[in-house]
Chains A and B, each alone.
Chain A
Amino acid sequence: MNEYVTTKGEKGAVKAGKEKIVPAAGQPAERIDSKRGVKDVMESVMRAVFVICGLVAVGFVLIISVYLIISGIPAIREVGLWNFISGTNWSPANRTEPSFGILPMILTSIYGTAGAIVIGVPIGFLMAVYLSKVANRKVAAVIREVVDLLAGIPSVVYGLVGMMVLVPAIRTTFNLPAGDTLLAAIVVLAIMILPSIISVSETALNAVPREYEEASLALGATELETYFRVSAPAAKSGIAAAVVLGVGRAIGEAMAILMVAGNVANMPSLLSSVKFLTTAIAGEMGYAGDLHRQALFSIGLVLFLFIMLINAALNLFLKHNKEGN
């Protein structure tokens, strides 16, 4: 208290004059009042500072939206919205007849994400059930640590391991000229979304009231029947949130799949080299010029819209979750 007064006293004394303080009769009272004036100014200054800090996040979102829209529109206008999103040919570097169709990439992103979800969610969900209900506590704690570590490994490391292990394996298994395929990207994405799926669904499963499970057991259901037919449905909105989170992760990932997907803008098929929305931006920004560059910004805008949709879905599930609890 004393420290506060002595350090801020001098500076505040000047400001205190601006505040309308009605001095009470007598010395001591006046001193208290002048201190209060200092404090009031300080309070309102700090309040303003905190409001500004609070608004920074809003500012960032506005900056991102505005810049993406401003820089994404020109190329779309030039190419035509319909041509842009439904064109199947992406050859922006072609000097005589450049073509800007991003349908292959949109489909690749959707297929890749769907594939990652199809592989990652069931395994992740089963793992969450195992950790939450079946495993003994010590084993579960160790596995949880390692899964957390998995979440902390940078995406380029996944890309590197995928490049060195998965891509050659796919090449030899399917007898292809090159193993950089959609399949490789799907497997890498599935592994990368596992940690978030496991931890979010486990949290949801842990939050299921014990009474539900006890009632089910008392009615003669086995433990496993209880976990899958009582606990899992009770945790379904949390698990749905986990899935949506996984979708967001998978659709936004760039570097890891840039290293394993081959980066040719084919229409997606499991064993062909493909280009995602994200990898088009990450891979081509370095050398793109003029319209090509603007088209990449437009791809960013498309990706942004996808993400906003997913975020809206996630918010919906989370809100539902909160109300459920």
Chain B
Amino acid sequence: MNEQKVSITEPLSANRRVWNGTMRALLYIAAALICALLVFLIGYILYRGIPNLSWEFLSSEESVINDIEGILPAIINTLYVIVATLIFILPLGVGSAIYLTEYATNKKLVSVIEFATETLSGMPSIIFALVGMMVFCQALGLGTSLIAGAFSLVMMTLPTIIRTTQESLKTVPQSYREGSLALGSGKWHMIRTVVLPSSIDGIVTGCILAVGRIVGESAVLMFTAGMGMRMANFGGDTIAEFFDNFFGAAGSTLTVSLYVYAKERADFDHAFAVAVVLLVIALVINLAAKLAGKKTQEKLRAGNDKNDR
């Protein structure tokens, strides 16, 4: 009866039905698998780590005599590296992005710079570790020190800052620039007073992402900044001594101390406690980057709306 009619409600052929069913099942299996993995990973880290986490662990230096374990030195070293890296990376990265978006007229030079940036961003950290060790620790005579680690991280995180800054510079409406130039300001003056202030949140996003990479990095710092777990001496009695100590300080950051706990001391309880700290930092950085990124997006959308009208 139905055979001559072609109906749009006609059921799919058996083959297609099987294919559809299989694909749908695969989709849900993949999604379920990944969600289960995520929940397990985070749950397991928290489950193993939180019982070993205490204020004392976070706020004290390890001491064999008093039987105290603590990661305060690692926290301070991590902060030191973050600040030192940002001090160098900010002007370099922002300047580079400004050159690429505002000044560059030579197409060949731009493509060379962009190729270099992409190469840097695809380079594995172990290469930065090797080169950092050779260049900063040995050739420049900085020795194994946090500052050498920071310099190596500058090489590694430069592309991150350049890319995010470039993106946010592109969101600044062209009319702002034209308005400023038409009023007689020079290019640098225009960049300083108009372009940079309106792209500040992109730069902030870049910094946050860079901090994320710095906190998560271990190979580079293991090679260049050392694996010592004791508090480095940052101070000194005379000014010269202070400079020597402050810029020569070496030690492990959070990730490196996790590695030392897990691999060299087989002290997994404390390794997981450090993992919880790192997890929390990753979470905070993610949220911060999202917030800053949202602002840029809104601006971009607002800009587009204006253009559409």
Binding site for B on A (CB under 8 A): 1, 4, 39-40, 42-43, 46-47, 49-58, 60-61, 63-64, 67-68, 71, 122-123, 126-127, 129-131, 134-135, 143, 145-150, 152-157, 159-161, 163-165, 191, 194, 198, 220, 222, 224-225, 228, 248, 251-255, 258-259, 278, 281-282, 285, 296-297, 300, 303-304, 307-308, 310-311, 314-315
Contacts and interface: CB of A to CB of B under 8 A. Distances in A.
A281 B126 contact: yes
Given A51-B103, A156-B258, A222-B12, A145 B286 contact: yes
B234 interface: no
A282 B126 contact: yes
Contacts of A315: 115, 118
A194 B189 contact: no
B169 interface: no
B255 A56 contact: no
A320 B291 CA distance: 32
Contacts of B44: 161, 165
Given A154-B215, A156-B258, A63 B113 contact: no
26 contacts: A1-B185, A39-B189, A42-B188, A42-B189, A53-B92, A53-B99, A57-B162, A64-B123, A67-B135, A123-B34, A126-B27, A126-B30, A129-B27, A147-B34, A148-B290, A152-B282, A153-B282, A154-B216, A154-B255, A154-B258, A154-B278, A160-B262, A160-B271, A255-B219, A307-B123, A314-B122
Interface residues of B, number: 93
Contacts, number: 246
Contacts of B80: none
Contacts of B127: 64, 68, 252, 300, 303-304, 307
For the complex of A and B, list the 4 residue pairs with the smallest distance between their C-beta atoms, beginning with the closest: A252-B124, A53-B95, A126-B30, A54-B99
A46 B113 contact: no
Secondary structure at the A interface, as helix, strand, loop or mixed, is helix
B41 A56 contact: no
A58 B126 contact: no
Secondary structure at the B interface, as helix, strand, loop or mixed, is helix
A153 B186 contact: no
Interface in B18-39: 19-20, 23-24, 26-31, 33-35, 37-38
